[in-house]
Amino acid sequence: MNMIAVDIGNTSITVALFIDNDEKFIESVRGGSDDAKQRLTDLLSDAWQRVPLVQDAAAAKRDGVIVASSVNPPWTDMIAEICKTHLDEKLKVIGKDVPLPIDTAVDNALEVGTDRLVAAAAAFAVVQDAVVVADFGTAVTIDLVDENGTFMGGVIYPGFEILAKALHENTAALPTVHCKKPKGSYGANTIEAINAGMYYAAVGLLETITRRYAEELGKWPQTVVTGGAATVIAEDCEFVDTWVSNLTVRGVVIAWKKYIEDQAYLAGLGEEDEPDR
């Protein structure tokens, strides 16, 4: 399988190239930067040129697909326009062109960000049991998948950058702080105090929510963390089993594979139903 997987988030857009199921690269671009569109055009064009051509095709056509998970409609439109104009290829969007890759028990699956759903599907595909998926990005999401592979829902909390910005903009003197692991349990100055507050709030939230999920399940689930800020807190959470980079991108791949497998299965059923001639 040859594929460009795209994770369109609230802060950045991540592009990954897979050739024959082998990961060739994963690269992120901040979506709001002045040169974002040009960088993404160059990145996608370069990746698409590396996808092999369909053998024996009458016209030159790449033997691949471009699939995206998105929580940012304007950026989705930008990526779709790049794909159409520069690659002559349609961008397939999960939840629109590609079905959601996981069963859910939520009120409205289409209202859940596809980033959360594909990450949950990717985690369950590996664990094959109840799993907590915590993504520390622009927002912190901590979601639960039960032992049957059903997405049960989760919690959403402001990420480190949002918290730091809120403190700075809503006070007269507090500075903007970039969160990192604290030197100790309390800060000896304002910056250290803000940092410790954000850090231990995240650690405490993850531990509390995971424990509550465990109580509902009747067992302690495996816990997978991802996202740009995940490495900051993972080492202080002994119950965290795995840190995975770019879990959402990997979930996009799983969503497409599941769709292809389902299509092949349905086609097979159709052939079985055809009368003998």
What is the domain partition of the chain in residue ranges?
3-93, 103-249
3-class SS of residue 21: coil
Give the fold, CATH level 3, of 103-249.
Nucleotidyltransferase; domain 5 (3.30.420)
**Alpha-carbon torsion 57, 59, 60, 64, what sign?**
negative
Average of pLDDT values for 58-84?
A: 94
Give the fold, CATH level 3, of 3-93.
Nucleotidyltransferase; domain 5 (3.30.420)
pLDDT at 56 over 80: no
Global confidence as pTM: 0.90
Domains 3-93 and 103-249 share a fold: yes
Query: 């809503």: which residue's tokens?
Result: 170
What pairing do the DSSP bridges indicate for beta strands 242-243 and 139-145? Answer: unpaired
- Given the residues 115, 135, 143, 146, select the one marked as catalytic: 115
pLDDT category of residue 275 using cuts at 50, 70 and 90:
low
pLDDT tens digits, residue range 98-146? 999 999 999 999 899 999 999 999 999 999 999 999 999 889 999 999 9
**Alpha-carbon torsion 193, 199, 161, 165, what sign?**
negative
Average of pLDDT values for 172-187?
A: 92
pLDDT at 265 over 80: no
pLDDT at 91 over 90: yes
| 35 among known catalytic residues | no
Pairwise pLDDT comparison (228 vs 212), residue with the higher score: 212
What pairing do the DSSP bridges indicate for beta strands 131-136 and 139-145? Answer: antiparallel
pLDDT at residue 234, rounded to an integer: 77
